[in-house]
Amino acid sequence: NKSYAFFLCVNIWAVLCKSPHTVRSDGNLFHWNHLMKGDKLVLHRSKRDWMWRQFFLSEEYTGSNYQYVGKLRSDKDRGDGTARYVLSGEGAGTIFRIDEKSGDLHATQRLDREEKASYTLQAQAFNKITGLPLEPATEFIVKIHDINDNEPKFTKAVYTASVPEMSDIGTFVIEVNATDADDATYGNSAKLVYSILQGQPYFSVEPETGIVRIALSNMDREVRKEYQVVIQAKDMAGQMGGLSGTTMVNVTLTDVNDSPPRFAYSSYHLSTYESAEIGSTVGRIKANDGDEGENAEMKYRIVDGDGKEYLDIITDETTQEGVMVIKKKLDYESKRVYTVKVEVTNTHQDPSFSDLGPFLDTAIVKVTAKDVDEPPVFSRPQYVFEVNEDTPKGIAVGTITAWDPDATHYPIQYAIDQHTDPERLYHIDPKNGSITILKSLDREVSKWHNISVLASEINNPHQRSRVPVLIKVLDVNDNAPEFAMIYETFVCENVKAGQLIQTISAIDTDDPLVGHKFVFTLSSMNPNFTIFDNEDNTARILTRRSGFNRREMSVYYLPVVISDSDYPIQSSTSTLTIRVCSCDATGNMRSCSVDALLLSAGLSTGALVAILLCILILLMIVVLFSALKKQRRKEPLIISKEDVRDNVVSYNDEGGGEEDTQAFDIGTLRHPEVIESNKLRRDIIPEMLFPYHRPSPMKECADVRDFIISRLQENDTDPFTPPYDSLATYAYEGNGSIAESLSSLESSVTEGDHEYDYLSNWGPQFKKLADMYIGKDTGVAN
């Protein structure tokens, strides 16, 4: 047949190439050997030991029986049943089974090529009797034929993409990818074709690449922003019967500045009170822009209008609104309506979309001023007056003028804010605003007076305005010049005539326009000193004679007359004190009159200082000695054990009631009248917790009482007795005991005065006590 002829030709070609070849035909293997005998080609066919069909399986077998793979047969198998076939390798015994006798090979399971595409196995024939192999094992492969059993799957279930609005046709949007698990080398099972199921006519997809592109021009984001595109991938090259898979692509159109701002209205009407402050908000207007982000940012400005001087507009960058604000105070009486023309433009413009129209718009804004009751208005923002300091009282300094700006024109009344004129120097006429002087002025005390004048409407005093008034006090020559400082002048005993001893100058609190010019003279002729005017507001004091004696005269007083040159001329006499001092040959002062007196007494300055130090040391010693003596006297006075106040008496007898908790001594226990005498103490206040109700002490205890009273008086009269002693008493034993006091401290001299029969009536709690005392009384009676 044709296939046999084909393989024969192939093997002949192999002979010509002088190499052996094995060719598979119809499932059998042939091995051809060639021999050259002369020019003839002699062919011999030698069979191999194994013969079987080609092993190929289709995946996803759905039959009820095992799937037949092929038949294995060895040339050593004589057909007498002594040959046994054994299979090993991948899936041997589980997936693949072989008939030991016939060599038939079956697949026992349903195979999936996408899990495993081929299996490598080994087959060998054995002699059943001897157990020896008939031939070596031979390896073969079982390949799984693919069928179209897997649909295409996209790498993502949902894709997200964005593309600028107004993009041209064919603009790239996104690329989607799908895969098919089938064998791409076998048939068309894995050959995919992409198509759009949803999203037309806006988008298209390339069938082979899966690239999504714009299919419609001028897609406007302001009309529609988001699109959902469904892409299908189908195998079998898109033919009928192929499997398919789909994915979703969410496409968002991004904004470009293709929408100019537009006002919703051609004119806007706002209103505000004429009293609105500069910078306050009148209202807001807003233009609409379909873009977003920076493409929607706008800027407002006033381009025209009669209110351009009074109004301004600023842009609120957060809300993109135009905020109308007051630029200059509005006046209802002069103008009722202020009109401006407002222009809005995009901040960021794209030249590529300039053909869509001018990216600006205009609107008219009218602002109506509303009337308010305004306070009075002064003719000036500030008044400045001048007045001479010698102006008499009652003379007018100036006049303040104010009026009511409202249409009513109410009359105005004036007043001075008294906080600005605490000395009450000025007065203002409440009707005409004339300011007059109430007290004399003094420029040397205050050159300027800053007061505030209040103007209010008579019909509405709450409408009040304030204006500063500055009053400058002009200088008048009313103060005489005087020494510029206190001079300490001395003259040496050995001075010569005409020698300079002091240069003096003067000051004047007045302030003449041409400056100060002082003249210095002596009030009378002085035989000791003279004065020389330097004509520069200073003068020199010179000695008229030589030789001064400080013992004869230690101090000289020189009257100097100082005059100014203003009108009227003011002059004063100042006295210069000149001390006579002892100087060396060069004129340096050694000592003056005070030290001279000390030297005459034989005491120098160092000696005086030493005496003062000694006195100070002695005073410190006396103070220290007194402090130590006082500290010794403050030691505790009660240091003797014989002192009854320092004795601690311990009693084992049962005390009083629950409130009997304070210390006491025996003297107080026996003589409670000490409480009365204690009232004489001024250093402490005794605490009487309960009223005293004990009987008076017996006369037999008078000696102890006298002792306590005498000691008490002694301590009261002692100024060094410390005031920290105290007194406590057991005289009151509480009110919780129905038996009253059980203490024996106040018992009579003899115990026989007490009767204890009542103890037997107090109950079992006092039985032991009753037996003790009643039995004792009975024994005594006997």
Please tell me the number of Cα atoms within 13 Å of 62 on its side-chain side: 2
Tell me the per-residue pLDDT of 470-485, one tens digit each, with 9 for 90 and over.
999 988 888 889 898 9
With pLDDT > 70 as the criterion, what percentage of the chain qualifies?
76
AA letter at 710: S
Q: How confident is the model at residue 38 (pLDDT cuts 50, 70, 90)?
A: very low
Is it the case that residue 427 has pLDDT exceeding 90?
yes
Residue 731: DSSP 8-state:
S
Q: Give this prediction's pTM.
A: 0.40
Reported as a single tens digit per residue, the pLDDT across 356-409 is 778 889 999 999 999 888 889 999 999 999 999 889 999 999 999 999 988 778
- The more confident residue out of 627 and 596 is 627
Q: What is the pLDDT of residues 433-471, one digit of tens each?
A: 999 999 999 888 899 999 999 999 988 888 899 999 999
Q: How far is the C-alpha of 600 from the C-alpha of 578, rounded, in Å?
A: 21
Per-residue confidence band for 10, with pLDDT thresholds at 50, 70 and 90 = very low
Q: What is the pLDDT of residue 269?
A: 96
Does the structure show a pLDDT above 70 at 595? no
pLDDT band at 700 (very low <50, low <70, confident <90, very high): very low
DSSP state of 10: H
Q: Report the mean per-residue pLDDT for the chain.
A: 79
- The DSSP call for residue 345 is E
pLDDT at 617 over 90: yes
Q: Per the structure block, which two tokens stand in for 732?
A: 């009151």
Give me 115's structure tokens: 């899990």
Instruction: For residue range 174-198, list pLDDT tens digits in order.
Output: 999 999 887 777 778 788 999 999 9
pLDDT in tens, 206-241: 999 999 999 998 898 888 999 999 999 998 888 887
Q: What is the 3-state secondary structure (H, E, C) of 449-461?
A: EEEEEEEEECCCC
Query: What single-letter amino acid sits at 178?
Result: A
Is residue 112 predicted with pLDDT exceeding 50? yes
Closest to 124 in 3D by CA, of 106, 98, 142 = 98
The answer to whether 190 and 280 are in contact (CB under 8 A) is no
The yes-or-no verdict on residue 659 having pLDDT over 60 is no
Q: Which pLDDT band holds residue 630 (cuts at 50, 70, 90)?
A: confident
- Comparing 36 with 314, the larger pLDDT belongs to 314
Q: Are 75 and 47 in contact (CB under 8 A)?
A: yes
Q: Given this model, what pLDDT does residue 781 score?
A: 46
CA–CA distances in Å: residue 674 to residues 198, 253, 688, 691, 706:
121, 113, 12, 14, 10
pLDDT digits over 319-346, tens only?
Answer: 999 999 999 999 888 899 999 999 999 9
Q: What is the mean pLDDT of residues 302-323?
A: 94
Higher-confidence residue of 358 and 277: namely 277
Res. 82 pLDDT band, cuts 50 70 90: confident
- State pLDDT tens for residues 717-755: 777 666 655 554 444 444 555 555 555 555 544 445 566
Identify the residue with better confidence: 626 or 689: 626
Residue 651: its pLDDT value, please? 54
pLDDT of residue 737: 52
| pLDDT at residue number 654 | 59
